[in-house]
Amino acid sequence: MNFEIDYYKEKVNIFAHTSVPWQQEVLFSFVNHITLPINPKILDVGSGIGNNVKTLMSLASSITATDISDKVLAVLKERYKEASVKIDTVASHMQELPFNDNSFDLVVCTEVLEHIENLPKAIGECMRVLKPNGYIILSSPNYFNPAGFIKIIFELMHPDKSWDAWGNHEDGHEDFMTSFKLRRVTKKSGVQILETRGGDVMRSWLPFFRRYYKYIDQHPMLSFGRLPIIKYFLMNFFILGKKV
């Protein structure tokens, strides 16, 4: 089954094309740790309905957002139709980005890589279109915790389904990502890792509580995500890197 065509491209599930609000706090923290040129060129890969766009708008006069789904990009454009910055939307697969080499000063790709068939190729494409000395921000779920055991057991029992800690991808696909896997592939792709962060304590260690997502999302306990060892065991893992 081509899960990206059957689900992420053709079906608009708003919850499957977005991320929890607190992740914008991490993104905001990262972009405030770097120095970008005046009016930088920014690419948001796998933008979905555009949660990242609101955070990135303060950095540039235009942003390029790409996603595999035309339908989702239409939602994004409607959502930001009165935005003060220019938002260009491009429908494309992130393994084949339709941009020239060395085109962007900042590439952001959050909560997308777990849905991609070829992780090294996907990160490699992000690096290809990133300018030398440009910055890259990546994130994915991290199943190196009790939630990962639930995912393994569920998918053994239901091989035609995918389990995720949010309950939004059962009919799609979410790979078994870990903080260590994302870090390893990112480094092999030539990224100089500047900072890593974890997030979401309850969803990783109390996976049976995922139905109480409204409460969990209000208490991400982001301070734990800064701790040297603990950050590798939380539900999400974030990387700030540079192309050198």
Summarised one tens digit per residue, pLDDT across range 182-208 is: 999 999 999 999 999 999 999 999 988
Please give the DSSP secondary-structure letter assigned to residue 219: -
pLDDT digits (tens, 9 = 90+) for 85-135: 999 999 999 999 999 999 999 999 999 999 998 999 999 999 999 999 999
pTM of the model: 0.94
The burial of 164, by beta-carbon neighbours within 10 Å (0-12 exposed, 13-18 middle, 19 or more buried), is given as: buried
- At residue 2, the pLDDT reads 46
Cα–Cα distances in angstroms (integers) from residue 219 to residues 23, 147, 201, in the given order: 12, 17, 8
Show Cβ contacts of residue 11 under 8 Å, excluding neighbours closer than 6 positions. Answer: 171
Burial letters for 141-163: b for 16+ Cβ neighbours within 10 Å, e otherwise? bbbbbebbebbeeeeeeeeeebb
Q: Are 118 and 126 in contact (CB under 8 A)?
A: no
Q: Residue 186 contacts by C-beta under 8 Å, 6 or more apart in sequence?
A: 123, 138, 193, 239, 241
Q: What are the backbone angles phi and psi of residue 56, rounded to the nearest 5°?
A: -80, -15
Supply the pLDDT for residue 65: 97
189 touches 124 (CB < 8 A):
yes
| CATH of the domain spanning 3-243 | 3.40.50.150
Domain boundaries, the chain: 3-243
Nearest Cα neighbor of 110 from 37, 172, 194, 26 is 26
State the pLDDT at residue 211.
Answer: 82
What is the distance, to the nearest Å, from the Cα of residue 68 to the centroid of all Cα atoms in its chain?
Answer: 14
What backbone torsions phi and psi does residue 77 show, to the nearest 5 degrees?
Answer: -65, -40
